[in-house]
Amino acid sequence: MADKYYNNEIKQEKVLLVGVQTPQWTDFEFENLMQEMEALVNTAGAFLDRRMMQKLPKEDGRTLLGKGKVGEIQRIIKHRNIDLVVSLNPLKPVVHRNLEEAWDCRVIDRIQLILDIFALRAKSRAGKLQVELAQYQYLLPRIIGQGLELSRLGGGIGTRGPGETKLESDRRYLRTRMRKIEKDLSAIEAHRERTRLKRQQGNEFNIGLVGYTNAGKSTILTKLTQSDTLVQDKLFATLDPLTRSFAIRGFENFTLTDTVGFIEELPTKLIHAFKSTLEEISDVDLLLHVIDAGHPARFLHEQTVLSLLKDLKMDQIPQLVVYNKIDTLNEPFQPSLFPNVQISAYWEESIELLKEEIWQTCKSIAQPYRILIPADQAQKIYEYQQNTIVESIDFDQVKQNYIVTGFKK
């Protein structure tokens, strides 16, 4: 757990955040990532004592930072009684080992921190298995041949999920366990695939929510579907896929699925580790790309999501961009992605506007029809109402025909 118990009180782990800025990041991008790391530390339940940064032409291959900075941080850790050092930069096994030896302190990187939060958020069996598998995949090279002190993995941030007893097993057991998890996940995925196929064959328009973490996806799902779901102002509040039905213009032909939020500098393979969430929306009819309109790094967030959707081969799915949180803006908003709708998920009129935009977008990607039904075959109208969205029914008195118009998937 992230919290330690002392005299019956909960003591937060004290964290020192470290980041090395290389030429791959501008000053703005690097500062945004460091602020995001602060939010991740907070989400994991720790206390950020301070952060240390260094600008280098490239990362040091042995210790990430320069020798002088390593020594400076060592003194701070001792003086400030730091429990954990978290690195923005991914740590190779040898660098990870060298830093722990130099600082005599637990060290984790951004990926391990995110995995810890995933372990905290996972509720379903599939989600917990995905977290466990991803943690094994990440930790295995750090256990085998690296002399990692397993006793340090018994508690604290970056250790939720598998736990100490599993990590103390030998490599054969770890790999056997990983194969067992993969088999269980395959069985779960087969069941989900049958559920998805059944949903796709129905008359509902299936809509998926995607976006940068904390953009407001869960709030939008709650407001659109009038359902109770977790809404928190924290990163990765949603991990397990959640699908709800909702109606537009009285037609209950729409489903909405929330998914895990994307994040900058998150390896695609880590997203793939949680494909059970994303595969829920791999075959939807429409993606709602939710963006925090007031975030200073909005453009970076937009491009991160678009890039990951491309990596996941989901960029061909029709998108409606939803610029959320416009209530936080102090000046006129200039969108950069189209088509879009600009809303605040907390304004009722905005939710109605979003519903209308979803309706019009679904119409534009659907198959319209106009059919004549003889008066003596009026029962066919019911079939169309059950399997399509019927917009109008008129009757031609002269020809004794019903004129039915609407659209279908």
The binding site comprises 211-218, 236-240, 258-261, 324-327, 344-346
DSSP structure class, residue 226: T
Q: Which residue has the tokens 């304004």?
A: 347
For the cut 70, the answer to whether the pLDDT of residue 218 exceeds it is yes
Question: Is the residue at 18 inside a domain?
Answer: yes
Output 272 or 112, whichever has higher pLDDT. 112
Question: Is the residue at 238 inside a domain?
Answer: yes
CA atoms within 13 A on the CB side of 364: 11
Domain that holds residue 375: 367-408
Asked if 282 and 317 sit in the same domain, the reply is: yes
Q: Rounded to 5 degrees, what are φ and ψ at 237?
A: -65, -25
Quick one: which of 227, 204, 216 has its CA closest to 358?
Answer: 204
Asked if 404 and 306 sit in the same domain, the reply is: no
For the cut 80, the answer to whether the pLDDT of residue 38 exceeds it is yes
Q: Are 263 and 214 in contact (CB under 8 A)?
A: no
Q: Is 28 exposed, middle or buried (0-12, 13-18, 19+ CB in 10 A)?
A: exposed
Question: Is the residue at 93 inside a domain?
Answer: yes
Read off the pLDDT of each residue in 230-235 and give the average, rounded to a whole number: 58
Asked if 47 and 79 sit in the same domain, the reply is: yes
Q: Which residues pair with 208 in a beta bridge?
A: 257, 287
Question: Is the residue at 330 inside a domain?
Answer: yes
| CATH number of the domain bearing residue 106 | 3.40.50.11060
Read off the pLDDT of each residue in 215-219 and give the average, rounded to a whole number: 92
Question: Is the residue at 142 inside a domain?
Answer: yes
For the cut 90, the answer to whether the pLDDT of residue 13 exceeds it is yes
Please give the pLDDT value at position 141.
Answer: 75
Asked if 135 and 180 sit in the same domain, the reply is: yes
**Overall domain count for the chain:** 4
Please give the pLDDT value at position 267.
Answer: 64
Question: Is the residue at 312 inside a domain?
Answer: yes
CA atoms within 13 A on the CB side of 330: 2
Per-residue pLDDT band for 8 (boundaries 50, 70, 90) equals: very low
pLDDT in tens, 341-363: 999 999 999 999 999 999 999 99
Asked if 126 and 189 sit in the same domain, the reply is: yes
**Rounded Cα gap, residues 355 and 224, in angstroms:** 8
pLDDT in tens, 141-193: 776 544 444 444 445 666 665 554 444 555 777 788 889 998 998 888 887 77
The binding site for Mg(2+) comprises 218, 238
Quick one: which of 189, 278, 195 has its CA closest to 238?
Answer: 278
**Number of residues that make up the chain:** 409
No. of helices (H) and no. of strands (E), the chain: 13, 15
Please give the pLDDT value at position 2.
Answer: 43
Tell me the Ramachandran region of residue 51: left when phi exceeds 0, alpha when psi lies from -120 to 50, beta otherwise. beta
| CATH number of the domain bearing residue 232 | 3.40.50.300
Asked if 137 and 269 sit in the same domain, the reply is: no
Question: Is the residue at 4 inside a domain?
Answer: no
pTM listed for this prediction: 0.82
Asked if 44 and 97 sit in the same domain, the reply is: yes
Please give the pLDDT value at position 152.
Answer: 46
Asked if 108 and 194 sit in the same domain, the reply is: no
**Rounded Cα gap, residues 18 and 89, in angstroms:** 8
Asked if 231 and 318 sit in the same domain, the reply is: yes
For the cut 60, the answer to whether the pLDDT of residue 122 exceeds it is yes
Output 280 or 393, whichever has higher pLDDT. 393
Q: Are 126 and 132 in contact (CB under 8 A)?
A: no
The binding site for GTP comprises 211-218, 236-240, 258-261, 324-327, 344-346
